[in-house]
Chains A and B, each alone.
Chain A
Amino acid sequence: MRTSFQEELDVLESTLQEEGALVLRALRGALNALEQRDEELADEVIAFDDDVDRRYLEIEERIPSLLARQTPVATDLRLVLAILHVNLHLERMADYCVTIAKLAKLAPEVDPPARLIEGFEEMGSRCEEMIRVALDSLRDRNLEGAESLVELDELVDRANRRVVHHLLELGADPELREYGLRMVVISRALERIGDHAVDIGEQTAYLLTAEFREFTDASHPTPREA
């Protein structure tokens, strides 16, 4: 039994889970800053990204060293490769949270329509749910959980379309139009967070089945058969 190697793998995985928990916090902060038009909170979310980046870099640095020294194979190799990918997905999600926080700061003059805020809240809480499912499925080695992310993402995509629809109804006032464009970017950021959660699910499926497949593919609208 290679105890120290197993410990290193455990540290990598727990650092990744920590990073995931930080992403959840960043997302909640960004949503609250947006809904409550809280500039201070938005700044906190932006600064908080460094904490996520620290975990990201730590994992990035540990993996080449682990590969060089321990030459993992079989399940161990797949786990290391999955962590490498998931790490990047989480870091991207955190970047989207920063984008949302920055745009939230830019839009305080306009009183946002209630329906829009509700739309963002729906998208945001669905994204939070997806991140939790993605992280738990990876931790519990749960293939069914990982695959369920496709359906959850469909709900985010639908909410995204509804939000865009509300934005189109804002009217022709140039100020409102500019506001609307910023809100489209926020909606898009949330939609992308959902996509990254699906990608994490794909990595879990790879870890468990040793076969990489995309759950969905933009150029092939229906989910692929395994």
Chain B
Amino acid sequence: MTGTFTMAPVIDVAQARKEAEPVQREVVFDIKGLTVTYGRLTAISDVDLEVYRNVITAVIGPSGCGKSTFIRCLNRMNDLVPGARIDGRIMYHDEDLYGPGVDPVEVRRRIGMVFQKANPFPKSIYDNVAWGPRVLGMKKDLDERVEKALHDAALWDDVKDRLKKNALALSGGQQQRLCIARAIAVEPDVLLLDEPASALDPIATSAIEELMHELKRDYTLVIVTHNMQQAARVADLTAFFSLEVDDSRRTGVLVEYDLTEKIFTNPSDKRTEDYVTGRFG
């Protein structure tokens, strides 16, 4: 996998055969031979993949294929799982993410995460967003920081008059955007989103998808989604994970990683084709 991707579709028309210029992408994560085991169970095996800056990368695949395991490796969330073992290498901006001397707390500040179920603290909207910066000692201009994070999460107009109200009074979609605001308040580099819209109605979902398009200007996004159409709508690149069954042991493997458009119009691998067209299983 090289760092060069042709980001615009190549349209072959009779008169103009213009090929898009390959765009050199900055590599944020360079993942080689990533294998994750929980005890005797291998969740994912030998994954090679590069994640590029200011690009939305979607991870799709059937249940149990290791999508969530995969993105949890990207901010060392699996460290917290007893018995989890990570082999292979994840370079983050050329630094070994699992190297000695790397502080997992600093890793999670730079690589934020948003979960399927919005999980605001039972505190005020303001305190939810201000919590991270306060803990990390980013107390200067805290009000501005909170306002900017809420703006960037497309929530400011909804909540500016009730910042001191309890966050749990917000709607599900607003709570999820609040979690995104909370994640970006500490100025991360990467946002990992694990099924961020699967508990939301279509309107709240489209608000989150719109927001992702805005956020990719400033952040690198990796989204795990069950919803293939969501991947097709929001992602620039899509990685398809599948389950390989060997001696009744099931292991998640990366099958195909390419431009989203390619994955959904002309995938290279039969397994990808079967999955995206709904013929899987």
Contact flags B235-276 to A (C-beta < 8 A → 1, else 0):
000000000000000000000000000001111000011001
- Minimal beta-carbon separation of B27 from chain A (angstroms): 28
List residues of A (68-117) whose CB comes within 8 Å of B's CBs. Answer: 71-78
Contact of B14 with A1 in the complex, beta carbons under 8 Å: no
Contact of B265 with A5 in the complex, beta carbons under 8 Å: no
Q: In the bound complex, what is the Cα–Cα distance between A2 and B266 (angstroms)?
A: 19
Contact of A73 with B12 in the complex, beta carbons under 8 Å: no
Closest residue of chain B to A226 (Cβ to Cβ) is: B12
User: For residue A217, which residues in chain B have a CB less than 8 angstroms away from its CB?
Assistant: 14
Contact of B278 with A74 in the complex, beta carbons under 8 Å: no
List residues of B (64-102) whose CB comes within 8 Å of A's CBs. Answer: none
> Of B12, B228, B264, B267, which is within 8 A of A213 by CB?
B12
Q: In the bound complex, what is the Cα–Cα distance between A71 and B231 (angstroms)?
A: 13
Number of residues of chain B lying within 8 A (CB) of chain A: 17
Contact of B277 with A73 in the complex, beta carbons under 8 Å: yes
Does any Cβ of A come within 8 Å of B40's Cβ? no
Answer whether A74 and B265 are a contact pair too, CB < 8 Å, given A1-B279, A2-B279: yes
Interface size class of A (residues with CB under 8 A): 10 to 19
- Minimal beta-carbon separation of A81 from chain B (angstroms): 10
List residues of B (1-24) whose CB comes within 8 Å of A's CBs. Answer: 12, 14-15
Does any Cβ of A come within 8 Å of B63's Cβ? no
Contact flags A204-225 to B (C-beta < 8 A → 1, else 0):
0000001111100101100000
Could you jot down 9 A-B contacts, CB within 8 Å?
A1-B281, A2-B277, A73-B228, A73-B265, A74-B272, A75-B277, A77-B264, A210-B265, A217-B14
Q: Which 10 A-B pairs have the closest CB atoms?
A: A210-B266, A2-B278, A73-B264, A73-B276, A76-B277, A74-B273, A74-B277, A217-B14, A74-B276, A214-B14
